[in-house]
Amino acid sequence: MRLSADRKAVESIFAEGPTVKGTIKAVDPTANTITVAVNEGKQLVDKTFDAKSAPVVIADAGGDKSKASEHKLADLPVGAIATLRLSPALHVVSISAEGPSFAGTVKQVDATARRFTLTFSVAKGEPVQEREFALAADARVAIDGGTGRTVSELPPGALVKIQLSADQKSVRSIDAEGPTVQGVVTALDSERFGITIADKVGEKSFLVARDAQITIDGKENEFALLPAGAVVRARLSVDQTTARSISAEGPSVKGKATAVDPTNYSITVYVNKEGDKTFDIAREAKVVTEIYSLPIKLAELKPEKEVNLLLTADRKSVMRITVFGE
């Protein structure tokens, strides 16, 4: 709606309907209707719309939506993901369709036949499936963020997100990356750019990419400044030999606050089986409630409250305090 300069009159009104996205369940070219399954809350509901005269576009060019081609309503395959733009009267104004996408783990690759086998779950909690896929001739393959790669470069165990063609007969795009490992830093090799991380299973050593993104306590930093004892999450390369990004923070300490000193920025917490422990609080530290993470002032934190302290990566101060029961 556009108002006049003095805001006393409406000069023009533009209205459009909602956009609906869902899986195509049925297409009736004779009746000019399309039925899609859409999410309503936690349920899938089938909805049918009048699609007479609506232009149809199918994006099937190696994952490049800018190369989508025009089609007829009858060309839309069941199982494709459709985005319907509706009029205010809820008639379909336009339809764009593409294949479904999902994530899985590469089991094996037949580079000569341009086929690969994936294990995956259609939805959370669903049983793991195994299926072989054919790669489209113009499919886009990206590995560790780099495009122009080939399916032969996908090692078993690689985590991939694939998008199928609209008819679900071939794979139009693959994005592959390595897993994330979590643990505590036990050693750094600044010369070789290496890091050793310990978890419940044991220690593992990785190289670190020279251009890896390093964040310490939420801020970009340098690899050499990662402190021993920091808790890290490292995103590995597809071949699981190199860390491509590392985020570091300190461990968490849970207990009951026994003393709070807002003036000197310190807190004492009783930790079960360990007794009272006093920590310095970083000046930029946040104090939030457990519910909704609402900010509160340090001076409002009273003793006897159960708290969780997130320490800095060097374990020298507290960077976040979560107050339970608030």
**For 11-57, what is each residue's pLDDT tens digit?**
666 667 899 999 999 999 999 999 999 998 888 999 999 999 999 99
- Do residue 24 and residue 92 come from a single domain? yes
Q: Is residue 13 in a domain? A: no
HSE of 178, CA atoms in CB hemisphere, 13 A: 19
Domain contains 9: no
Domain ends where: 128, 150, 177? 177
Q: Which pair of tokens denotes residue 28?
A: 């009736």
Mean pLDDT of 86-99: 95
Lookup: tokens for 54: 């609506």
Per-residue model confidence (pLDDT) at position 7: 72
Q: What is the CATH number of the domain that holds 72?
A: 2.40.50
Q: How confident is the model at residue 65 (pLDDT cuts 50, 70, 90)?
A: low
What is the pLDDT at residue 67? 56
Residue 289: beta bridge partners?
323
Collapsed DSSP state (helix, strand, coil) of residue 67: helix
Beta bridge partners of 24: 36
Query: Are 232 and 256 found together in one domain?
Result: no
Q: Which of 25, 26, 34 is nearest to 55 (CA)?
A: 34
Instruction: With a cut of 60, say whether residue 129 has pLDDT above it.
Output: yes
Band (pLDDT 50/70/90 cuts) for residue 66 is: low
Residue 3: inside a domain: no
Are residues 164 and 191 part of one domain?
Answer: no
**CA geometry: angle at 161 spanning 83 and 57, to 5°?**
25
Based on the domain organization, do 41 and 88 belong to the same domain?
yes
Does residue 14 fall inside a structural domain?
no
Spatial distance between the Cα atoms of 190 and 187, rounded to a whole number of angstroms: 10
Residue with tokens 């207990």: 255
| In a domain? residue 4 | no
317 contacts 281 by C-beta, under 8 angstroms: yes
Task: Indicate the number of domains in the chain.
Answer: 4
* Full domain range(s) for residue 136: 101-177
Give the residues across from 231 on adjacent strands: 184, 249
Strand 231-236, strand 56-58: pairing: unpaired
Same domain? For 112 and 42 the reply is no
* Pair (26, 66) in one structural domain: yes
The verdict on 77 and 114 lying in the same domain is no
So what's the pLDDT on residue 241?
Answer: 94
Is 146 within a domain?
yes
Q: Is residue 11 in a domain?
A: no
My answer on whether 138 and 186 are in the same domain is no
pLDDT of 64 above 90: no
Q: Is the pLDDT of residue 61 over 60?
A: no
| CATH number of residue 287's parent domain | 2.40.50.320
Q: Based on the domain organization, do 84 and 109 belong to the same domain?
A: no
Report yes or no: 214 and 222 within 8 Å, Cβ to Cβ. yes
Which residue from 219, 196, 199 is spatially nearest to 207, judged by alpha carbons? 196
Min mean pLDDT across 2-6, 84-88, 205-209 is at 2-6
In tens, the pLDDT along 169-209 reads 999 999 999 999 999 999 999 999 999 999 999 999 999 99
270 and 297 housed in the same domain: yes
pLDDT for res 59 = 86
Given 202, 229, 249, which residue is the final one in a domain?
249
Q: Where are the alpha helices (DSSP H) in the chain?
A: none
122 falls within a domain: yes
pTM: 0.75
Question: Would you say 221 and 212 are in contact if contact means Cβ atoms under 8 Å apart?
Answer: no
**Residue after which a domain boundary falls, among 142, 159, 177:** 177
**Could you tell me the two tokens for 56?**
């149809």
Strand, coil or helix: what is 42? coil
> For residue 298, is pLDDT > 70?
yes
Give percent of the chain with pLDDT exceeding 90: 83
Q: Indicate if 189 and 156 belong to the same structural domain.
A: no
Q: Which tens digit of pLDDT belongs to each residue from 114-126?
A: 999 999 987 777 8
Tell me: do 304 and 238 sit in the same domain: no
Compute CA distances 222 → 44, 116, 173, 190, 232, whole Å.
47, 38, 34, 11, 14
